[in-house]
Amino acid sequence: MLKVRKVDPLNPDNSIIKEASDYIKNGYLVAFPTETVYGLGADTFNGEACLKIFKAKGRPPDNPLIVHISDMNELDRVAIDIPEIVFPVIRKAWPGPLTLILPKSPDVPKEVTGGRNTVAVRSPAHPVALALIKSSRTPIAAPSANKSGRPSPTLAEHIIEDYANDNVEMILLDAGPTFFGVESTIVDVTRNPPVLLRPGPFTIEELRSLFNTEIVVPEFARGLGEADVALAPGMKYKHYAPRTQLIVVECEKYDSLIKLLRDVALNYLNKKLKVALLITKETASELMKYPEINELPIIIMGYRENPYTIAASLFDSLRSLDRLNVDLGIAEGIEERGIGLAVMNRLRKASGFSIVKCKM
């Protein structure tokens, strides 16, 4: 049974937090908001409870969870042999959307880490998440709360959509939209120099200055090509995908992007396919000048001039695409700068790497 409890995102009601933390203590699941996306959590030290997460999501058991702590002093409950480089970083970055891969403490059950000897840890910057962890008196292991393969939930409604018909004992803390809309940045600090496993709200530019070293950015972190499974276990699975086929259109020059978006749309319209566009507000105004295009269903993904607005609406846009009953979605690519890298990583994966690029 899915129980939904509305909470104030900034000042959550103690009695609701208590009810949810009792669920955690008793080995049940709680879906809770973080500053990135909603997580589906259980008591980290209860392996059986953590298995329920995998079962509810349909998640492969070798794709490990992220452990959420409310205070950096709790780090040594879940990780050991913490490299010195980590302490100044977490003093500045936590609570916040930065997940670190560290050597695991023997107390963390193998279910959480997919049998690995490392553990992913972060401290989330959301008052509801922090209150829940504190009240549960245990680190909370949680992946994103979507069903495996679906876009991550940025609204409580997305979780209801995925789980309403399931028979799973769970409380959902509905605190409205999450703040960033894309999942945390993941950095593997067991390697030297550290390796970016997943781009997120902490940008590469910020990481380089936080760590004060070079950061390795593999191709797969940009959403190009397959990940080395040994390095990034979760990245081999198809992610974030809408059910509808998606194509991403990418160009360096904006004029060329508008033209290519129009050409790609016309190409599929001529094949008698039903097409929808996932584009920014600015691009919608440009494309509306073309009569063949201005009848098409459009999903607005924020403002091109502010990529944070695109990140915040990205996963909801991918879910909206499935409600339009079209054959194909065509998405606008954006610049890989700042949080734009995280957006492009998600979009490219969501398309199953169906990318159309401008000729250079």
- CA of 76: how far to CAs of 80, 89, 92, 121, 283, in Å? 6, 16, 18, 11, 48
Rg of the chain over Cα atoms, rounded to whole angstroms, equals 20
| 8-state DSSP, 147 | P
Is position 343 an interface residue for ligand TXA (rule: CB under 6 A)? no
For residue 317, which of 184, 173, 181 has the smallest C-alpha distance? 181
How many residues bind Mg ion (CB under 5 A)? The answer is 2
Question: Which one-letter amino acid corresponds to residue 105?
Answer: S
Q: DSSP characters for 284-324?
A: HHHHTTSTTTTTS-EEE--BTTBHHHHHHHHHHHHHHHHHT
Could you write out the DSSP letters of every residue in 258-279? HHHHHHHHHHHHHTT--EEEEE
Rounded alpha-carbon distances, angstroms, from residue 58 to 24, 177, 245: 20, 24, 22
Q: What Cα–Cα distance (Å) separates residue 54 from each residue in 145, 148, 283?
A: 10, 9, 40
**Of these partners, Mg ion, ligand TXA, none, which one is at the site of residue 37 (CB under 5 to 8 Å by kind)?**
ligand TXA
Return phi, psi of residue 186, to 5°.
Answer: -110, 125
Q: Of 118-126, 248-256, 267-275, 280-288, which segment contacts ligand TXA by CB under 6 A?
A: 118-126
- The binder of 186, among ligand TXA, Mg ion, none, by C-beta within 5 to 8 A per type, is ligand TXA
Nearest to ligand TXA of 115, 352 (CB atom): 115
Q: Which of 116, 134, 222, 281 binds ligand TXA (CB under 6 A)?
A: 116
User: By C-beta, is 284 or 339 nearer to ligand TXA?
Assistant: 339
Shortest Cβ 185–ligand TXA spacing (Å): 8
Nearer to Mg ion, 136 or 144 (CB): 144
By C-beta, is 57 or 304 nearer to Mg ion? 57
Q: 223-262 mask for ligand TXA (x: CB under 6 A)?
A: ---------xxx----------------------------
81: left (phi over 0), alpha (psi -120 to 50) or beta: left
x/- map, 143-182, Mg ion, by CB under 5 A? xx--------------------------------------
Please tell me whether residue 317 binds ligand TXA under the rule CB under 6 A: no
Considering Cα of 266, then 272, then 275, then 281, what sign does the dihedral take? positive
Tell me which stretch binds ligand TXA (CB under 6 A): 9-17, 180-188, 261-269, 291-299.
Answer: 180-188
- Binding region for ligand TXA (CB under 6 A): 34, 36-37, 39, 63-66, 97, 99, 101, 113, 116, 118-120, 124, 142-144, 183-184, 186, 197, 232-234
What residues make contact with Mg ion under the rule CB under 5 A?
Answer: 143-144
